[in-house]
Amino acid sequence: MTTRHTSDDSGAAGAGAGDAVDPAVRAELSRLRESIDNIDAAVVHMLAERFKCTQQVGHLKANHQLPPADPAREARQIARLRELAENAKLDPAFAEKFLNFIIAEVIRHHESIADGAR
Amino acid sequence: MTTRHTSDDSGAAGAGAGDAVDPAVRAELSRLRESIDNIDAAVVHMLAERFKCTQQVGHLKANHQLPPADPAREARQIARLRELAENAKLDPAFAEKFLNFIIAEVIRHHESIADGAR
């Protein structure tokens, strides 16, 4: 990444990249960033809701001695999300990485629920 | 993780963890998984929209010689998302990890846009 940082970077890092920038460009950047912030807020709330569901799954699994991980279910989820991503013009490889990132967190939760239920 | 896998796991991996399970438990698990799948579809579409915004940011930055990364903006995003996460009862540390995961992908995009603009 350091190879990308050019001479304008030293000022930009401190002052928010705005000093020498055309006001129209700055306004366009702000507009896009506001959309990104709105989307991030939506995603955080979606993920909060998702973890509420997976916490319930975790308790169900712990109470009925089901294993925390379910490779067959995960394979189906990955195939489905890759297809959804493709239709939404999102890189399917990224969608898969994203799901694996979430599932790793969920399995950590399930393991600690299972440990608590012992 | 292997320490969590108990004797019921060998069958579960192949047959979908359903064979020896109470039908009511199976139904509850299905209900929760359907919600998880709905949320995942929503998040994938949100992320597709987010990357459309960041692609535009990338082009704007490349065309105006702005650096791909903006540490001050990222620090503000992280602080804001941690607060949103806390209010939504999502682990703030996880929200921060999540944002870093997304930003790493965005910076990769920005760098390749900047390389293309040279």
pLDDT greater than 80 at residue B13: no
| CA–CA separation, A14 and A22 (whole Å) | 18
User: Which residues on B lie below 8 Å from A64 (Cβ)?
Assistant: 21-22, 25
Give the pLDDT confidence score for residue B2 in this predicted structure.
39
Which chain B residues touch A95 with a CB distance below 8 Å? 44, 47
Q: Are A66 and B8 an interchain contact pair (Cβ–Cβ within 8 Å)?
A: yes
The Cα B91–Cα B100 span in angstroms is: 14
- Cross-chain Cβ contact A39/B49 below 8 Å: yes
In one letter, which amino acid is B45?
H
pLDDT tens digits along B84-104: 999 999 999 999 999 999 998
CA distance A45 to B14: 34
CA distance B30 to B42: 18
The pLDDT confidence band at residue A118, using thresholds 50, 70 and 90, is low
Instruction: For residue B43, give the nearest of A28, A43, A60 by CB distance.
Output: A43
- pLDDT level of residue B16 (50, 70, 90 thresholds): very low
Question: Hey, what domains does chain A have and what are their CATH numbers?
Answer: 9-117 (1.20.59.10)
Q: How does DSSP classify residue A4?
A: G
For residues A72 and B16, is the Cβ–Cβ distance under 8 A? Answer: yes
CA of A88, closest CA in chain B: separation in Å?
A: 6
Q: Has residue B3 got a pLDDT over 50? A: no
End-to-end CA distance of chain A: 47
